[in-house]
């Protein structure tokens, strides 16, 4: 079995694949540069292309002997205006503009809004944001057939531009017909994570979960609507992870509201022990430039200081000119932040309290021991991944070597802070646990002769959710010699 080199950082990197990066050669380069998992954006491309992309990821995974997570991101119910005569029109600043149900091509005075669910729910004073907020309309009057608005910010509007409704919960299903087809496809392809877009309420997550049936695939709720923030705790409870999707969130909120909200979402998700990903425009300038701006570097660093489990690259790796460089820079930023002497204090600004269970108490104890005794890492034996999540919630000072018999769990943990997942056969006794833990620690670079490690497991072995054992082990010189000769 090939050695999987630890990254030298605990935060994970999620990179989006696209035309610039979906070949096996580029996927290999991105992994070597620091990517831990890949996002497949279902908003673009067809199922045949996505199937080829996922197959390429799995081929690289096998070649490198490294569990690689695959996240399929559903498009969600994106609202759009209709078409214009000539393809575009100019809405006069401070003028009037009407959105109606007439399919006739639009002009500078009106356009069709092919979403009947919006008519009748909007009230005077509410806003409509078009083309990522470049145009801003305020409702003067609305009924079942038209929405009469004043243009707070006018400009050029063209066919099929997106519409955001920040001041109302839009009565649309969380999953469109396309999303349902894409979800079924992603499950067939063995995706490790499904990202649910434009979540507004916990019922949206429950609906997706119901459609997924008994699938073991994890569900990540994307927070990009103000309505979702109001019910964040309930959404976190139902989801397996959370993504701070700052694109649409930044459109629907004032810009200055997004940074504190990002910190709030990250902190709440961390307290739950579930992974949280910070996404969108992190290194946006690197779509065209080989180097990021100083502001972008600070943005990535800020998410790492907040203790996010993963940071995400979108167009930077999917269609940009410098995909490998973008991953390399993100890796370097994260590694540098984690070397900062003040990092540990900052990452623990978020107070995390363990649940009243033996497993949580032991996870907290392992982090405390790691801060008290010089240890190289925490070895976690897990069948479901729950013990690894409990330890990660404590944000210990050392990385985790997560040993699991489940390839699916190992892939899912590719997005978990500090986790270095390895697929290995299950253990059957305490002696086997110690021997295998030491052997895997040496194989994967977790210390040398004389190094101490913490081992966490559950007795009886192979029983999910039974974590009740913590043991400190020391690697001996003889074990190192045996390992070296075996290599």
Q: What is the domain partition of the chain in residue ranges?
A: 12-76+174-347, 79-164, 358-486
At 428 the pLDDT is: 82
Q: How far apart are CA 286 and CA 305, in angstroms?
A: 22
In sequence order, the β-bridge partners of residue 457 are: 469
Tell me the pLDDT tens digit for each residue of 2-22.
Answer: 344 567 899 999 999 999 999
Burial class (CB in 10 A: 0-12, 13-18, 19+), 49: middle
Q: Which CATH number is associated with domain 358-486?
A: 3.40.1380.20
79-164 to CATH, choices 1.20.1530.20, 2.40.33.10, 2.40.50.140, 1.10.10.350: 2.40.33.10
How much is the pTM?
0.92
Nearest by Cα to 182 from 83, 40, 74: 74
With helix as H, strand as E and coil as C, how does 408-447 read?
HHHHHHHHCCCEEEEECCCCCCHHHHHHHHHHHHHHCCCC
Q: How far apart are CA 469 and CA 253, in angstroms?
A: 47
Burial class (CB in 10 A: 0-12, 13-18, 19+), 200: buried
Q: Tell me whether residue 280 is one of the annotated catalytic residues.
A: yes
Q: How far apart are CA 319 and CA 407, in angstroms?
A: 30
Given 58, 78, 80, 101, the catalytic residue:
80
Q: Say if residue 54's pLDDT is above 70.
A: yes
Using DSSP's 3-state secondary structure scheme, residue 370 falls into helix
Question: What DSSP letter does each residue of 239-270 carry, written as one string?
Answer: SSEEEEEHHHHHHHS-GGGHHHHHHHHHHHHH
Q: Say if residue 166's pLDDT is above 50.
A: yes
Q: How far apart are CA 301 and CA 9, in angstroms?
A: 13
Q: Locate 215 and state its tokens.
A: 């699938």
Given 12, 39, 246, 389, the catalytic residue:
39
Using DSSP's 3-state secondary structure scheme, residue 398 falls into coil
Q: Tell me whether residue 438 is one of the annotated catalytic residues.
A: no
Provide, rounded to the nearest whole percent, the portion of the chain with pLDDT above 70.
Answer: 96
At 120 the pLDDT is: 84
Q: Say if residue 85's pLDDT is above 70.
A: yes
The dihedral sign for the CA sequence 265, 271, 272, 273: positive
Given 280, 317, 382, 387, the catalytic residue:
280
Q: Say if residue 461's pLDDT is above 80.
A: no
**Domains 79-164 and 358-486 alike in fold:** no
Q: Tell me whether residue 101 is one of the annotated catalytic residues.
A: no
When pLDDT is averaged across residues 12-33 and rounded to a whole number, the result is: 97
At 67 the pLDDT is: 96
C-beta of residue 447 within 8 angstroms of C-beta of residue 439:
no
At 4 the pLDDT is: 45
Residue 267: pLDDT band by 50, 70, 90 thresholds? very high
Nearest by Cα to 315 from 351, 362, 283: 283
Given 66, 222, 270, 412, the catalytic residue:
222
Query: What Cα–Cα distance (Å) separates residue 151 from each residue in 1, 13, 125?
Result: 63, 41, 12
Which H or E run contains 146? strand 146-153
Tell me the pLDDT tens digit for each residue of 108-137.
Answer: 999 999 999 899 899 999 999 999 899 999
Nearest by Cα to 35 from 10, 13, 4, 57: 13
The dihedral sign for the CA sequence 16, 21, 25, 30: negative
Using DSSP's 3-state secondary structure scheme, residue 179 falls into helix
Q: How far apart are CA 12 and CA 479, in angstroms?
A: 31
Residue 478: pLDDT band by 50, 70, 90 thresholds? low
Using DSSP's 3-state secondary structure scheme, residue 8 falls into coil
C-beta of residue 384 within 8 angstroms of C-beta of residue 409:
yes
Q: Tell me whether residue 80 is one of the annotated catalytic residues.
A: yes
Class of domain 12-76+174-347: alpha beta
Q: Say if residue 219's pLDDT is above 50.
A: yes
When pLDDT is averaged across residues 158-176 and rounded to a whole number, the result is: 91
Q: Say if residue 99's pLDDT is above 70.
A: yes
Tell me the pLDDT tens digit for each residue of 309-362.
Answer: 999 999 999 999 999 999 999 999 999 999 999 999 999 989 888 888 998 999
C-beta of residue 120 within 8 angstroms of C-beta of residue 184:
no
Query: What Cα–Cα distance (Å) separates residue 75 from each residue in 44, 183, 213, 227, 364?
Result: 9, 10, 20, 18, 38
C-beta of residue 192 within 8 angstroms of C-beta of residue 215:
no
Whether the ω angle into residue 240 lies within 30 degrees of 0, i.e. cis, is: no
């Amino acid at each position: 079995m090939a050695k999987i080199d630890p990254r030298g950082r605990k935060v994970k990197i999620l990179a989006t694949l696209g035309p610039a990066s979906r070949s096996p050669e580029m996927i290999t380069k991105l992994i070597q540069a620091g990517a831990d998992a890949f996002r497949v954006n279902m908003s673009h491309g067809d199922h045949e292309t996505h199937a080829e992309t996922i197959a390429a990821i799995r081929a690289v995974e096998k070649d490198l002997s490294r569990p690689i997570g695959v996240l399929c991101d559903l498009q969600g119910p994106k609202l759009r205006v209709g078409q214009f005569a000539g393809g575009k029109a100019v809405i006069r600043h401070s003028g009037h503009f009407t959105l109606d149900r007439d399919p006739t091509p639009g002009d500078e005075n009106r356009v069709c809004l092919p979403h009947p669910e919006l008519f009748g729910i909007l009230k005077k004073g509410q806003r409509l944001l078009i083309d990522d907020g470049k145009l801003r309309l305020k409702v003067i009057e609305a009924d079942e057939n038209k929405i009469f608005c004043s243009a707070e910010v006018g400009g050029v509007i063209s066919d099929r531009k997106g519409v955001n409704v920040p001041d109302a919960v839009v009565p649309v299903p969380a999953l469109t017909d396309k999303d349902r087809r894409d979800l079924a496809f992603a499950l067939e392809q063995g995706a490790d994570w499904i990202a649910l877009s434009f979540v507004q309420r916990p019922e949206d997550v429950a609906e997706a979960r119901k459609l997924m049936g008994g699938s073991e695939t994890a569900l990540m709720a994307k927070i990009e609507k103000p309505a979702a923030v109001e019910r964040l705790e309930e959404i976190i409870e139902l989801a397996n992870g959370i993504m701070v999707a700052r694109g649409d969130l930044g459109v629907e909120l004032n810009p200055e509201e997004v940074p504190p909200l990002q910190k709030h979402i990250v902190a709440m998700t961390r307290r739950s022990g579930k992974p949280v990903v910070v996404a969108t425009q992190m290194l946006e300038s690197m779509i065209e430039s080989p180097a990021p701006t100083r502001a972008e570097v600070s943005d990535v660093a800020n998410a790492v200081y907040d203790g996010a489990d993963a940071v995400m690259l979108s167009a930077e790796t999917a269609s940009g000119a410098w995909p490998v460089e973008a991953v390399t820079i993100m890796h370097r930023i994260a590694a540098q932040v984690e070397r900062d002497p003040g990092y540990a204090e900052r990452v623990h600004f978020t107070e995390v309290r363990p649940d009243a269970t033996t497993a949580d108490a032991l996870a907290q104890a392992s982090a405390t021991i790691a801060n008290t005794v010089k240890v190289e890492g925490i070895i976690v034996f897990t069948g479901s991944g729950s013990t690894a999540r409990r330890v990660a919630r404590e944000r210990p000072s050392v990385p985790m070597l997560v040993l699991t018999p489940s390839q699916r769990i190992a892939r899912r943990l590719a997005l978990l802070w500090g986790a270095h997942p390895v697929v290995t056969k299950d253990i059957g006794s305490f002696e086997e646990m110690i021997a295998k833990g030491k052997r895997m620690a040496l194989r994967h670079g977790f210390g040398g002769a004389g190094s101490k490690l913490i081992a966490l497991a559950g007795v009886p072995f192979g029983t999910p959710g039974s974590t009740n054992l913590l043991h400190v082990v020391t690697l001996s010189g003889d074990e190192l010699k045996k390992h070296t000769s075996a290599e």
